[in-house]
Amino acid sequence: MARHKVEYLSAKGMPVALGTVDKILNWGRSNSLWPLTYGLACCAIEMMATGGSRFDFDRFGIIFRASPRQSDVMIIAGTLTKKHAEFTRRLYDQMPEPKWVVSMGSCANTGGMFNTYATVQGVDRIIPVDIYLPGCAPRPETLQYAMMVLQQKIRRERAITDITRKRLV
């Protein structure tokens, strides 16, 4: 774990932080997540509560955005219908790289109790999902914890090579 340690040196009384470009970029990305608000059903109420004053996402650097072009995280909260799946994919494609997806609630994860012809049986059939939140409807604390897990995941990624690899593919 010594390779993840950032060293602080002092040169003539001025502190200097040494670290790799990956660490610095990932630190900035993980501490400034801007999720796209995409509430589809009852889970959206819990997502809105997470942005409220009691749970305060702002202290994590997480600010909800309404535009996909300004977002890097998509939180899908609720039941996704097949009619709406095309729009979900379009919004995902409009988000800039790097981007992450959180599937919130049993209905978004697996279709939940709505196993019908009109319901997508899991958002991962439409777009790639990074974190799944179980429950009906998951509490705001669960979404907060999921975002902290996502921050840890982002800090472990290789920032430079992942971007260039995605462009080449």
Question: Residue 129 has what pLDDT?
Answer: 94
Query: What phi, psi does 33 have (nearest 5°)?
Result: -80, 135
User: In the chain, helix, strand, coil percent, each to 5?
Assistant: 45, 20, 35
- Per-residue pLDDT 10s for the chain (169 aa) are 445 555 555 555 555 556 677 788 878 888 888 898 888 888 888 888 888 878 888 888 888 888 899 899 999 998 899 999 999 999 999 999 889 999 998 888 888 887 888 999 999 999 999 999 998 888 989 999 999 999 899 888 876 655 555 555 5
Question: Residue 2 has what pLDDT?
Answer: 46
Q: Are 62 and 33 in contact (CB under 8 A)?
A: yes
DSSP string, 53-119: TTT-GGGGT---BS-GGG-SEEEEESPPBHHHHHHHHHHHHHSPSS-EEEEESHHHHH-TT--STTB
Question: For the whole model, what pTM was predicted?
Answer: 0.78
